[in-house]
Structure 1
Amino acid sequence: MFKPLTGIKVIDLTYFIAGPGAAKILADWGADVIKVEPVFGDPGRTTGKPMCMPTEDDCNILYNIYNANKRGLSLNLKAEDGKAVLEKILETADVFVTSYRTGALKRLGLDYEAMHARHPHIVWGQINGYGDFGPIKDNPGFDTVAFWARSGAMMDLVEKGTSPVNPLIGFGDATTSCSLAAGICGALYNKAKTGEGCKVMVSLFGQAIWSGSAGVASTQYGDS
């Protein structure tokens, strides 16, 4: 299998589907991905249960779809010793991927500005619901609302006068994962030329607008 990211080290501070999916793509392409979970584990470990999938330690199908090919580490990042361990592994990392909200990252000292000051070599990637700007930028975002509902896709995919579509779980998450993985690869190419990392940001809402961009544009010219 072609693995162009062999030799790249990624620290994966994500949960559920969207963020883990991006790091999984990087792992599949050869990167050494270390998933950092809180002491209680990624809440995505139990997400498969309502869909009748096993969630045992030795058989957790949904979790493994987005987390296979990674190494794992459990840290309490609210404790000084946990922060110290993370800082140590960040020293030799190339990429930091997170799906934590920006406020939480600031409280942990892991927002882009703080991390770039300490580790300017790191490509810093974040996936969230609504991006960096606007009145709802700090809102939590899952794919059902941020990707499907707010973009209008939930209604645009059904016949007029019928009920909104009931979206497949994780569809918007997995789609947005691809964009973050691609953006990180572009940033790694830039780092190879400059030696410096940068910020890569994608959002579920932004991805949905891009995915439906042809339809969005057509409505400006009378298409309904």
Structure 2
Amino acid sequence: MAQMFIGTEAFAAGAVSKYDLRARYRRVLPNVYTAKRAHLSVHDRAVAAWLWSRREGVISGVAASALHGAKWVDDDAVVELNWPGRKSPPGLKVRNETLLDREIVCRRGVAVTSIARTAFDLARRGPSGSAIERLDALACASNFAVDDVLDIASKHPHVKGLSRVGGLLRQVDAGAQSPRETWLRRLLIQAGFPRPETQIPVPR
């Protein structure tokens, strides 16, 4: 992972000069810096977003799923951050939503929505096909319990996208090994075929 730091903190500690910040580092977000040539993964950008929030925000959505181990998340995916009352800088989507204490966990030292809360958010945003792909990836990484997600849904009865959560969760398959596999499964089901089984053990 790339090393991220808050510019004013590093300057106050004497670790860098103003010249260093300009010449040796690049700004990822306001007051958040990294090495000039560092390649930034979605994990790095999530850390940068959290530092930008002065360590007060909570990473959510697709970036949260990546921090929980989900694959197939592009490094340039928009990072979502729950930090009420703030505007979004480029590459970051700031949200203002209620999070219960049990819906927040720590991953890699960063505050992030729990697996169940992350699944809840993924299920209610974006095109249905993309949402199922994201949910499959998270389920493959974590094997989350649908009942845990539905329990969270019951605690937030007025959020946008709630009406489709149950239906999308019923389509999730933790055995899917790629977005292409998810797409093919959905295509077969829509064509009227029985729901295919994934990752069937083959006796030797």
Query: TM-score w.r.t. structure 1 length?
Result: 0.26
Q: Find the structure with the greater CA-based Rg.
A: 2
TM-score (norm 2): 0.28
